[in-house]
Amino acid sequence: MRIVAPAGDLAISIRVAEPELAARLAALLEQTPGLRIANPNEPGDLVVSVPDSPNGGFEQSLTPREHEVIALLAEGLSNREIGTRLGISPDTAKFHVGRLMDKLDATGRTDAVAHAARRGIIHL
């Protein structure tokens, strides 16, 4: 796929709550030929934004039970073992694991733990 920029420079609008990060992004983008930083009230051809949330941009927050389950996943426990530890059925544990994988956009149990660690949800 080839993207063709409009005539003239492509205006980049930066929407980042943290001023230092916004300045660093602007400095990097200004060095790119064919790009310019849009004025604050000008709509940009492209918008660069970073979510301003306490969970590092993680849109779907985890429930307290999901925090327990991801910690047990990090220990390598099976659904049956998670169920036993939490006093729930293996099917309910499987449900929680599935929801975690969806929320973390993970392809498997190990990937879910890796995503959670990268996002600061758990510490290994």
How many distinct structural domains can be found in the chain? 2
Q: Of the spans 2-11, 13-22, 79-88, 102-111, which averages the highest pLDDT?
A: 79-88
105 shares a domain with 75: yes
Residue 103 has pLDDT above 50, yes or no: yes
Residue 4 in any domain: the answer is no
80 shares a domain with 41: no
Residue 1 is predicted with a pLDDT of 42
113 shares a domain with 70: yes
Residue 112 in any domain: the answer is yes
16 shares a domain with 39: yes
- Give pLDDT tens digits for 50-102: 655 444 444 568 899 999 999 999 999 999 999 999 999 999 999 999 999 99
Query: What single DSSP character describes residue 120?
Result: T
99 shares a domain with 76: yes
**What backbone torsions phi and psi does residue 89 show, to the nearest 5 degrees?**
-75, 155
What's the mean pLDDT in 38-61?
A: 67
For all residues of the chain together, what is the average pLDDT? 83
Residue-range definition of the domain harbouring residue 68: 64-118
Q: Say how far apart CA 118 and CA 72 lie, in whole Å.
A: 17
71 shares a domain with 112: yes
